Amino acid sequence: MPILDSYLVALALAWIAYFAFHSVLASLRLKHWFATRWPNAISGYRVGYNLLAIALFLPPAWFTLSYAGAELVSWREPWSWAADAFAVAAVIGVLLSLRWYDGQEFLGLRQWRERRGGWFRVGGAQAAALSRLGLPSLSRTGARLVSITLVLPE
């Protein structure tokens, strides 16, 4: 078994750093800390979080797409069809779960416009139903499945 080259190690570390930083920024502890330090700026936290998430996503994404080494995974039929089916199912899952999310709230635009704090949340009974169905986790899993199928070569 060949040892991973330094490019793949750096690539893995870039994604781990991105997801770790993304999780820390999304934590309630950091949001609370931010709100206590800068209460007048908390209405812009979600917008800033999203902009920073996009900016920080670009370097590891570019790093991934510029990888010119050997294929890590080679999907052969029927497994390539299964991978494509999972990607389609993931996209459908994400799209279905969006019905329960307020896009303005999710992006932070509502908080910014209304100059109020508060974190993104799904309302009342819909949140309970989504939790029982596992749809929020399905949408995150779907996004991961789509990213895996887009990143790994066929």
Please, what's the b/e burial string for 10-36 (b: 16 or more CB within 10 A of its CB; e: otherwise)? ebeebbeebeeeeeebeeeeebeebbe
Identity of the amino acid at 138:
L
- Per-residue pLDDT tens over the stretch 72-105: 777 888 888 998 999 999 999 988 888 887 888 8
- Per-residue pLDDT tens over the stretch 32-47: 899 899 888 888 999 9
Residue 23 confidence (pLDDT): 92
**pTM, to two decimals:** 0.65
- Per-residue pLDDT tens over the stretch 46-76: 999 999 999 999 999 999 989 887 777 778 8
What are the domain boundaries of the chain? 6-151
Q: Is the pLDDT of residue 25 over 70?
A: yes
